[in-house]
Structure 1
Amino acid sequence: MMKKKTTLNEIAYVKIKEKIMRGDFKEENYTSQNQLVEELEMSRTPIVAALQRLQHEGFVKVISNQGIVIQELSIKEINDFFDARIAIETFSIVNVMDMLKEHDFSILYEMVNEQKKCCENQDLFGFVKLDADFHHYLLEVEGNSLFLQTMSNIRERLFYNSTNFMQKQQNMMRFIDEHIHILEALKLKNQYIAVNRLEEHIRGGKISLM
């Protein structure tokens, strides 16, 4: 089967979204087509198509003759996203408890160790990505494809905002400790503690963002 060729529109979309998630536009919360043409060294056509797609997904707002505003989440959106996370992840952690093997725990603990390195180096992007990977891995083991897709969309929208409160090292250390506590409960197969620690962890993230 022939591999589908990646289009310029898709390349532009991925590159612009990555720049948003990395926080490249945080200082002004703004960019422009001309700036993106120069930075990505691409023509205007794929960039316009990518921006239309990103606007539809809620990442940006394109204002005619003015520029592109990076969209921060509203209080309601943050509430809705985190409520969805709690519903999906607390349901899934019960199912995944008997599926996790030593190999899985090794991978998850390694993610936590990598988070510690990111904390030491103040690598905010790396830290938030590893946080997403940690939660995504548990959902992958559980195996519900609809949950995985929904959570992927939620995490991409939350990512830009998450790097703001992770600038404080104590927040990063708290997340690391909470991941360890969740893993400890999973190893003990204690459903009650695992669900409660996970829910507290997610609610703590919501409070920090708001």
Structure 2
Amino acid sequence: MKQRVLLKDIAYRKIKEKIMRGDFLDSNSTSENQLVEELQMSRTPIREALQRLQHEGLIKIISNQGIVIQELSIKETNDLFDMRIAIETYSLKKNVGFISQHDFKQLDDIIARQKQACAERDVFSFIQLDGEFHQYLLELGGNSLFIQMMSNIRDRLYFDANRLHKRYPDSIARLIEEHVKITEALKKGDYELAVQELEQHLQNGKITYIS
């Protein structure tokens, strides 16, 4: 039983990573047979992983047709970004006074790795680091419900993020600069500006997605 759970989790992580890397962008779909062949795994853990991904809204399993990667509607995108803005700005307002020099070093390190990913045109790594930056700010507050909710929201958004950033690579450099502005405002102790920069950053992201 333990081995079955482990295989299910491995299949989940591998399929999810393939979605986030944009492996299915051309057809926007895959199949159980294709995943069995690509992952070299049996059908049972793959089926269980697919059920979990469908529950999370990342895919839709269609009988006798295959697995469709779920694209977000304009309304869904707008709603998810509004949720991000509400949660992330609230959390930052509540916890700005508790950010330490260690935290600034961690944020600077994430930004440095983002710049490297941008230079290497590594979209997948950049997207992962973008999530890491926002997750770090959120974890300062320690609200486990916020953290879990934001993880689910980003998973829904990042499939489209991969598509957008491959189409508009210049947007990556702009997003990094916005992360720098947020961090610098925090270092200066200008917490009001930091929250404003964060909100504007997320609003810009929403406009890019919807447009």
Q: Same fold (TM over 0.5)?
A: yes
Provide Cα deviations, 1:17-44, integer angstroms capped at 9, x if missing partner.
Answer: 1111111111111101110000011111
Matching residue of 1:147: 146
Output the CA distance in 2 between the equivalents of 1:96 and 1:106.
17
Q: Give the letter for the 1:50 counterpart.
A: A
Give the alignment's TM-score, normalised by structure 2: 0.94
The answer to whether the 8 A contact 2:58-2:70 is kept is yes
Structure 1 unaligned spans of 5+:
none
Matching residue of 2:175: 175
Matching residue of 2:70: 71
Q: Any idea what SS the aligned residue of 1:25 has?
A: coil
Aligned-pair identity in percent equals 56
Q: Give the letter for the 2:63 counterpart.
A: S
Q: Give the letter for the 2:116 counterpart.
A: K
Aligned length: 207
Output the CA distance in 2 between the equivalents of 1:121 and 1:179.
19
1:7 CA drift (Å) = 2.6
Q: Give the letter for the 1:108 counterpart.
A: L
Output the CA distance in 2 between the equivalents of 1:166 and 1:27.
15
Q: Any idea what SS the aligned residue of 2:99 has?
A: coil
Output the CA distance in 2 between the equivalents of 1:53 and 1:183.
35
Output the CA distance in 2 between the equivalents of 1:108 and 1:35.
39
1:154 CA drift (Å) = 0.6
Output the CA distance in 1 between the equivalents of 2:20 and 2:158.
6
Matching residue of 2:184: 184
The answer to whether the 8 A contact 2:56-2:152 is kept is no
Hey, which bits of structure 1, 4+ residues long, moved more than 6 A?
Answer: none
Matching residue of 1:111: 110
Provide Cα deviations, 1:60-104, integer angstroms capped at 9, x if missing partner.
Answer: 111111111111111111111101100011111112211111111
2:103 corresponds to 1:94: no
Q: Give the letter for the 1:207 counterpart.
A: I
Q: Give the letter for the 2:99 counterpart.
A: L
Matching residue of 1:51: 50
Give the alignment's TM-score, normalised by structure 1: 0.94
The answer to whether the 8 A contact 2:25-2:163 is kept is no
1:192 CA drift (Å) = 2.0
Output the CA distance in 2 between the equivalents of 1:204 and 1:118.
21
Output the CA distance in 2 between the equivalents of 1:155 and 1:17.
12
Provide Cα deviations, 1:101-151, integer angstroms capped at 9, x if missing partner.
Answer: 111101101111111111111100000111110010011112111111111
2:204 corresponds to 1:200: no
Matching residue of 1:40: 39
Output the CA distance in 2 between the equivalents of 1:53 and 1:146.
19
Output the CA distance in 1 between the equivalents of 2:199 and 2:34.
41
